[in-house]
Chains A and B, each alone.
Chain A
Amino acid sequence: MSTTLSEAESRRVVSGYGVPVSPFVTGTSTAEVLAAVAADANVTFPVVAKLCGRAIAHKTERGLVRLRIADTDALAAACDELLGKAVPDDGKVEVLVSTMVDGNRELIAGLNDDPQFGMTVMVGIGGILAEAIRDVSFRLAPITEVDAAEMLNDLATQRLFGEFRGEREADRAAIVDALVALARVGVEEPGLRSADLNPLILVDGKPVAVDALLEIGEDGDA
């Protein structure tokens, strides 16, 4: 058996290893959330608010995500509404507020503890169609910067890394750093079974994870 960490917990774990995530704060009440946003200069409007908790896996399907929140008043309303949607089965919940980042290009990155090969790290073309497109590349963790650069070269959709729809060329070195850091999570984080960073949006060419989900084995200590 395994458990999934909440998005907030997952973000804290991966960012502790240097994986870039969009700036975020959390709170268990509307007042706490607003205070946290006011105190953190990195979290700037417009923001995204999500209700998250270990038992909540499918936020979008349950309508637990609010996008493009423009100001404090709208955020307060969103927090009230999201907290009101929690059901007893959700257990401990909190609202996660993060800066809304913009980019047309979405990658997916992840970890998977493979029964034959042990911990593996993946990068691919991300977004909601990731599992249909299946343009992905795997390596065994840990990886070097050279391995990570070759993973990007493996992907068939190379055009995504050039200048794209008015956005600058992808910063391959920054993506490489994120993958090397992610692979370290897989090797060093106790009990880790899998991780999804989906999507990993390219913002000014640099990767930023706007969602994170870590799965931890029963024997592991998260």
Chain B
Amino acid sequence: MPDLDALFDPKGIIITGVSKHPGKFGFVTLHNLLTSGYEGAVYPVSREPGEVLGLSVIGSIDDVPDGAAEMLFICTPPAINEGLLRQAAAKGVTAAFCAAGGYREAGPEGAEMEQRLVALCDELGIALAGPNGQGVVSTPSSMCAQIVAPFAPAGKIAIASQSGNFVSSFLNLANHTGVGVSRAVAAGNASVLGIADYLEYFTNDPETAVSLVYIESVDDGREMFERMAPLAARKPIVVVKGGASAAGARAAASHTGALASDDAVFDGMCRQAGLIRAKDVEEAFEAAATFATQPLPAGDRVVVVTTVGGWGVAAVDAMADTRLEPTALSDDLMAAIDEKLPPRWSKNNPIDMAGGETRDTVPEILQLVAEHPDVDAVVLLGVGIQSNTAAMIRGGPFFPNHGLERIVGFHERQDTRYAEAAAGISTATGTPIVVATELANAAPDNPAPATLHALGRLCHASADRAIRSLHHLAGHSAWRQARGL
């Protein structure tokens, strides 16, 4: 197993194929690397002398000081890359990301060059990522070494994908939600390093709490299972698979063979290995974001807390398709809540506060519910509505007169307080508290979603989606418990 530290945290980077043309991959990579704030030494290599983005280009890798760079980022065509790798190895480079295409995906000639590339990297002791990949991101090193956007906020999710497009999708969702990323890598043709290699690195990586992978093709499913299962027992791995609807290829002589669609077998493999399988990219990101920021629930018993009615009903409905159960409120919890709310509250789960909350009610109710031994997880709904009203008042013709300035400030502080309470109380009690409001999409500046965003925690866009994420956490928790983990 090659050491991937030089790929994810290189102390210096050589970029080949740098050009003054802002449309070229070499230029974009240099731009992204400098823009993301990478602090190591950067050596742009170009045939044309001069400056690019304020850096003097060098004509040859031979001009890089010995030991100054650990990673080579390749944007040059296949025909010259073997020579570049030899030069780079002589300077102390131990990892290469080959973004250049023209290899296996381009035909038999490219395939032959890819074989030579693999053999050479093996000979030189270079860990080879790609070829034909979009790049590598590492927030601990402020490194966006990619031929495309975006970079992402720092966080605990590590991403590996057989499609570069989905690296971008996940990073876009990280930016949108504020739930950050530790590492991200596109496997490209994965001629040496594959998904399982990256997962092994992420599982050992102290910067990573959860891995998130997109898989399209499985060459050796048995090997994948055997490598991933021990990793999944140590750190959660969320998987989304493309091509899941393809039917099994083998003409079956048996009923069992006829029932063994690729997807049914892949799904069973995931369950056995403890991989968390999501049905699409959004669900996968949200599950990973929840794993990264919430404690694991001890069981399936959920209480919904909502400021007003309908949302809570929909959340309980959404549990029907999951392993989660809306648990009955025990007598002592009912009595404790009675002390805090006016008599019109729902008296059951979902806890509908019926608009009866005062300054500290929401945090107090959350605390009572989250610390109760009969509750494994909490869903908080209806946050942001006060600030939504405040936003309309703020934009209306009467503001700030008629006492409106004061009430607007109160509403906004309240929603900030609710979001902070959800985060703080879940951390303090070890009970996950997921928050959902469509304002996360409709009005991301609303203090409720904006506060969660600033805290690096996910504000789900609907109760259904929050329930889905919790379902994945509870399922993984059950998988662990069944195996004594």
Interface residues of A (CB under 8 A from B): 2, 4, 108, 110-112, 114-118, 120, 122, 124, 130-131, 134, 136-140, 143, 146-147, 149-151, 154, 193-196, 198, 213, 215
Contacts and interface: CB of A to CB of B under 8 A. Distances in A.
B272 A194 contact: no
Given A108-B259, A134-B259, 10 more contacts: A110-B256, A112-B257, A112-B260, A114-B221, A114-B265, A131-B258, A139-B268, A140-B222, A146-B482, A147-B272
B272 A108 contact: no
B220 interface: yes
Contact of A117 (B225, B254, B257, B271): B225
Nearest to A147: B272
Nearest to B222: A118
- Interface size bracket, B side: 20 to 34
A4 B262 CA distance: 24
B222 A112 contact: no
Contacts of B222: 116-118, 140
B268 A111 contact: no
Interface string B224-251: 0100000000000000000000000110
Given A131-B258, A138-B265, A116 B218 contact: yes
A112 B272 contact: no
B269 interface: yes
A107 B271 CA distance: 21
B180 to A, nearest CB: 33
A112 to B, nearest CB: 5
Interface in B372-420: none
B257 A194 contact: yes
A15 B479 CA distance: 30
A138 B260 contact: yes
Contact of A136 (B254, B259, B269): B259
A116 B264 CA distance: 13
B267 interface: yes
B21 interface: no
A35 B232 CA distance: 57
A115 B257 CA distance: 11
Among B252, B255, B256: residue with most chain A CB under 10 A: B256
Contacts of A116: 218-222, 262, 265
Contacts of B320: none
Among A117, A137, A139, A213: residue with most chain B CB under 10 A: A117
Contact of B269 (A117, A149, A198, A215): A117
A195 B269 CA distance: 19
A2 B253 CA distance: 9
A112 B225 contact: no
Given A110-B256, A131-B255, A194-B254, A120 B268 contact: yes
A197 B119 CA distance: 48
CB-CB nearest 7 A-B residue pairs: A110-B256, A138-B268, A116-B221, A117-B221, A194-B254, A118-B222, A112-B256
Contacts of A139: 268-269, 271-272
A5 to B, nearest CB: 12
Contacts of B225: 117, 140
A198 B256 CA distance: 9
Given A138-B268, A140-B272, A154-B271, A198 B220 contact: no
Interface in B440-485: 479, 482-483
